[in-house]
Amino acid sequence: MITDELYDLLIDPTGPTAGGRIFTPDTPENYTYVGPYLVISGVGGTSEEDLTGGIGVANERFQFSCRAKVEDGGNLTCRSMAEQIRVTLQGVAAQDGKLIEGASVASRGIDLYDSNLNLHVVLADYEVWYSEQPTSAPD
């Protein structure tokens, strides 16, 4: 699954900041904040097709939500995580045995603040291109 591949790709670069706290597709219910974290959510996508069926490539739009409280650096920490994600995805190229073939920025750097939770959030959206099993057209 593509979200597993993204998790594996981002666990090391965001590790110093997020400490392995990467969730998909949302923060777990009743989550107790222990430090900055990242949420990866798929927000749409398409399979590329021609007249004979699927061609083995798809793209999906993902939203990366970087979250941190004021005492953990707030917006600066979120911005740092967003930059780690950008650099990592920018360096992705097709590799044998890997699903992800590349990524491009859809929108980045939307700053939010949840005053109820005292939580800074930076949203960054990326189009992620990946390999999928080609399909054939119906007879």
Q: Are 122 and 66 within 8 A, CB to CB?
A: yes
- DSSP 8-state code for residue 133: -
- DSSP 8-state code for residue 75: H
Domains of the chain with bracketed CATH = 2-131 (3.30.2000.30)
Cα–Cα distance measured from residue 33 to residue 39, given in angstroms and rounded to the nearest whole number = 13
Q: Where are the beta strands (DSSP E) in 15-135?
A: 22-23, 37-50, 53-69, 100-114, 119-131
What are 68-103's pLDDT values in tens digits? Answer: 998 998 999 999 998 888 888 877 765 555 667 777
Give exposure, 8-25, as e/b (b: 16+ Cβ within 10 Å): ebbeebbeebbeebbbee
Residue 60 is encoded by which pair of tokens? 């999906």
pTM of the full structure: 0.77
What are 97-132's pLDDT values in tens digits? Answer: 566 777 777 777 789 998 988 899 999 888 887 776
